[in-house]
Amino acid sequence: MGITILIIEADSMLQEHLVRYSKANDWRIFNSRQQKDIKRILKKHPIDVVLLSLDDLKKEGMSLIKMIKKKHPAVQVITINSGDQISLSIEGMKLGVFDDFFMPLDLDSLISGILEAYKAKKEAEVVKPSLLQRCQNIMVAASFAEAGEPDMAKELLATGRKSEANIKNVLHNEKSERRNKMKEMKVLLVDDEEEFVKALSERMKMRDLESDVALSGEQALKTMDEDLPDVMVLDLKMPGMDGMEVLRRAKKAYPGVQIIMLTGHGSEKDEQEARRLGVFEYLQKPISIEKLMKTITEAYKSKFEDAMSAAAFAEAGEFDTAREILDRDKKKK
């Protein structure tokens, strides 16, 4: 997969890792810092993904993002941030940034993000070949019309219009289906780091998933009492009631809620205890937004799998089997 990447103001170690990875995976990498040079590279080369560091660029980085998304809207931008510029990350996402990563970087997560960004760019370009094909069809149809074959000309033009419409409809339906699935989910994010959790909520919103936020374990349990979520993303280390205690109480009171533990300070012992208490998944920070979104979706799907299976058996008259599935689910919880 030949991905072309433009790196703007990233540290030398990151560049070194990406260059090494690119040689093994047929990637092409450009580096630049000056806006004039950046414009030249974007104009001359088919850039797929831009990696942009916000630490040094700050507001200048926002100007670059605006320029890229205005003149090259299909190019996907990924920002890199030390964590001190979260407000800039949020501003960047509102300008169309595909994803952002916090230092210290997990290279595997970043590469996964680059691959997802490349896929998004290619999806955005799907309709273009169709439009080109239509122009070619028009020229061929004109030749048929000049040769006295008006029916052939009309058929060719109609085929081109249907093909283009079908591509647009498929893309529209896929986006609508994804958006509807996201709207069905109720997600609660729990973390005492206010800037981090609000930035995470904003990143998820950009992907059509709304979420509630709690800044403490006590607030999380109160929120659950008032509006029960389907999935909770829970930090482990918090002042007062920590994540493990929240997990313990939540699974006892609301066993159907799927809980994802997200932590940057957990130990192997913590993970074992969390899994014993029934956590759906135990994830380490930093994590790519794509991986987190995928895990949330899997947790949501898992919540309803047994209930749907039991309903199917009940509809078929297999009530004993349906009861067994539900009883088994209760024992698991």
Cα distance between residue 51 and residue 97, in whole Å = 10
- The CA-based diameter of the chain, rounded to the nearest angstrom, is 84
Lowest mean pLDDT among 53-57, 229-233, 247-251: 53-57
d(CA 47, CA 96): 16
Cβ proximity of 4 and 48 under 8 Å: yes
Q: Which of 50-54, 162-166, 288-292, 313-317 has the lowest mean pLDDT?
A: 162-166
Would you state the pLDDT for residue 333? 46
Q: What pLDDT was estimated at residue 140? A: 59
Mean pLDDT of 309-328: 62
Closest to 280 measured CA to CA, from 244, 246, 233, 321: 233
pLDDT band at 289 (very low <50, low <70, confident <90, very high): confident
Task: Compare 120 and 333 and report the one with higher pLDDT.
Answer: 120
Euclidean distance between CA atoms 58 and 88, whole angstroms: 7
Q: Which of 231, 242, 226, 228 is nearest to 191 (CA)?
A: 242
| Residue for token pair 């800037």 | 195
d(CA 105, CA 18): 12
Average pLDDT value for the chain: 79
Q: 65: alpha, beta or left, given left = phi > 0 and alpha = psi -120 to 50?
A: alpha
DSSP 317: T
Report pLDDT for 68.
92
Q: Are 246 and 217 in contact (CB under 8 A)?
A: yes
Percent of the chain with pLDDT over 90: 32
Q: What is the mean pLDDT of residues 55-76?
A: 87
Pick the closest to residue 262 from 220, 303, 295 (CA basis).
295
pLDDT of residue 171: 47
pLDDT digits (tens, 9 = 90+) for 169-218: 554 555 555 555 556 789 999 999 988 898 888 888 877 888 999 999 99
Angle between helices 86-94 and 59-71 (to 10 degrees): 20
pLDDT tens-digit profile of 154-179?
665 565 555 555 545 554 555 555 55
> Model's pTM, two decimal places?
0.58
- The mean pLDDT value for 315-329 works out to 61
